[in-house]
Amino acid sequence: MKLVFLDRKTLGKDINLDQFYKLADVKIYQTTTAEQTLTRVKDADIVITNKVVIDKQIMEQSNIKLICITATGTDNVDIKYAKEKGIVVKNVAGYSTSSVAQVTIAHVLHFVQKLNSYIKYIEDENWERSDIFTYIDVPFHELKNKKWGIIGLGTIGTKVAQIAESFDCEVNYYSTSGKNNNTKYNRLTLEELMSTSDIITIHSPLTNTTYNMINKTYLNMMKEDAILVNVGRGGIINESDLAKKIDSDKSLYCGLDVLEHEPMKRDNPLNKIRNKDRIIITPHIAWGSVESRNRLIKMVFDNVKEYIV
């Protein structure tokens, strides 16, 4: 069987794909544009994609039998048409829970602990000139007794909730679907959660309901100096409203690992923020620890092997 990787570069150069050669005739492309997709998948039996779109038109003109998505989300594949044509579609789930939770905590601690300020104090050789043993002129706080609000209490949100509890935080949540009734944590309305939380972390999917859900109305409800972190999906926060809020008098701190358009566009309003110490942006890395990516590849390999065997 012929197997094609369309965007191998998204998996990281440190990940080994040799095992796939035992299953099929493998062709690997580092990246694939929309214009290149049909040519590359036309004669393939199995297509492995992360973000490359496989739509109805592509499937109509090819002989694809199995599509493996190297992610949990399936929005880049026309699932309905694939089912109509008898094409099997397999995604992977649960592989990145620990990785995403860890990056969430890292974003929060970045703002809570102020380590950058203290590291700079050392790098500038200020401690060497000090007449006392310590330097605490940049106040930091404990997480203990802080209110931690979680938007989207799925697998990842629950993992973050458990870690937040270990810091002795009070955990509350908002269900974006309205269907989650977890009895361990207190469920709030979005208004209640946004206005009472010291820390808010987003772990929900992007849907018609959640698109631009966190806009100026809800941003203005937040406590001054509260921390907002999005490791869910870009587009949940209105980025223009966020940029204005961060530069306002009663501002917040914000950590983003996802943006509405990725890679980040040069004209993104977040690039023009004056209060740059109040925002950090990482390039969609939360899912991508070494361990997480190796789990992902093993799951994809198992999906391919199960289909072939």
User: Which one from 110, 165, 187, 284 is the annotated catalytic residue?
Assistant: 284
Residue 207, pLDDT score: 93
Residues 6+ apart with CB under 8 A from 23: 1, 3, 301, 304, 305, 308
Among 2.70.98.70, 3.40.50.720, 3.40.50.300, 3.90.1150.10, what is the CATH number of 2-95+290-308?
3.40.50.720
CATH 3.40.50.720 occupies which residues in the chain? 2-95+290-308, 97-281
60 in active site: no
Assigned CATH class of 97-281: alpha beta
Residue among 164, 171, 184 at smallest CA distance from 107: 164
141 in active site: no
Residues 6+ apart with CB under 8 A from 142: none
Residue 309, pLDDT score: 86
Please state the length of the chain: 309
Residue among 147, 164, 157 at smallest CA distance from 182: 157
User: Which one from 8, 40, 233, 295 is the annotated catalytic residue?
Assistant: 233
Cα 156 to chain centroid, rounded: 10
Residue 182, pLDDT score: 85
Residue 110, pLDDT score: 98
Mean pLDDT by 10 residues, the chain (309 residues): 98 97 97 98 98 98 98 95 98 97 98 97 98 97 98 97 98 94 94 98 95 98 98 97 96 98 97 97 98 98 96
User: Which one from 60, 84, 262, 306 is the annotated catalytic residue?
Assistant: 262
Other residues' Cβ atoms within 10 Å of the Cβ of residue 254? 26
284 in active site: yes
